Chains A and B, each alone.
Chain A
């Protein structure tokens, strides 16, 4: 029987692998990839992903149980395309797009667009600071309710 302590220890390994993978590859690993990399059963990884999602550390795709978001990274294309360190990534929102260079400790270019009119808005982050840019960020949902519907948020 697997103890809670063993589950927590495994979840740390899974979380570390997910972030290591997405930072290197640009997209989060699948259940199969994680299972292979950690030499564990797919079902073990699937249930670990679910526990990490319950703890608001990952967001999963409905149905498949695959990673949708390993914040700040998105597993699917979004309007927040980030280029850093010779790789490309998708952020979940403008906050997350700016969080990608913070997590990578790299300079980055963010190719985004206005949420209203879709006009291109490119931003550059150098040494952790935003270079002069037009625009504003709008947070639609109060902080206490962000996890009510994190995908919309």
Chain B
């Protein structure tokens, strides 16, 4: 997951690396995702990795609902 100045820079990067364009999201939305994903304290014994369903529910809550964000194939 990389940072870019603009859509044009994403397009050029994808072309240079011969990769398909993935999903572009605004930085504030990325920050919301990071806050939610990494908020729980991983030092705590009771912490555990989210299940696929829990992670999917979190994505949905934050508005990541397209096929790109579907975790189970």
**A interface residues, Cβ below 8 angstroms from B:** 12-13, 15-16, 19-20, 23, 55-57, 70-72, 80, 93-100, 102-103, 112-117, 119, 121, 123, 125, 128-130, 133-144, 153
17 contacts between A and B (CB under 8 A): A16-B42, A16-B43, A23-B43, A70-B42, A97-B34, A103-B42, A114-B5, A116-B5, A116-B13, A136-B26, A137-B25, A137-B30, A138-B4, A140-B22, A142-B67, A144-B71, A144-B73
User: Is A115 touching B9 in the complex (CB atoms < 8 A)?
Assistant: yes
How distant is A141 from chain B, measured CB to nearest CB, in Å? 6
- Contacts across chains A and B counted by CB atoms under 8 Å: 155
Chain A residues within an 8 Å CB radius of B45: 12-13, 16
Interface majority SS on A: helix, strand, loop or mixed?
mixed
* Chain A hits for B72, CB < 8 A: 144
Known: A16-B43, A19-B43, A56-B49. Is A95-B71 also a contact (CB below 8 A)? no
Closest CB in chain A relative to B46 CB, distance in Å: 9
| B 55-70 binary contact with A (CB < 8 Å = 1; else 0) | 0000100000001111
Chain A residues with CB below 8 A from B12, complex form: 116
Bound-state Cα–Cα, A97 to B71, Å:
22
Q: Is B31 a contact partner of A98 (Cβ separation < 8 A)?
A: yes
Which residues of B are interface residues toward A (Cβ below 8 A)? 1-7, 9-10, 12-14, 16, 19-28, 30-31, 33-39, 41-45, 47, 49, 59, 67-73
Query: Taking each of B25, B30, B44, which has the highest tally of chain A beta carbons within 10 Å of its own beta carbon?
Result: B30
A125 CA to B30 CA, complexed, in Å: 12
Tell me which residues across on chain A come within 8 A of B26, comparing CB atoms. 136-137
Q: A108: shortest Cβ distance to chain B, in Å?
A: 11
With A94-B2, A138-B4, A140-B22 known, 7 other A-B pairs at CB within 8 A are: A15-B47, A56-B49, A96-B38, A98-B33, A123-B27, A138-B24, A144-B70
Chain B residues within 8 Å of A112, by CB: 3
The 9 closest A-B pairs by CB, nearest first: A99-B38, A115-B2, A98-B34, A116-B9, A93-B1, A99-B34, A130-B31, A137-B30, A140-B22
Nearest CB in chain A to that of B67: its residue:
A142
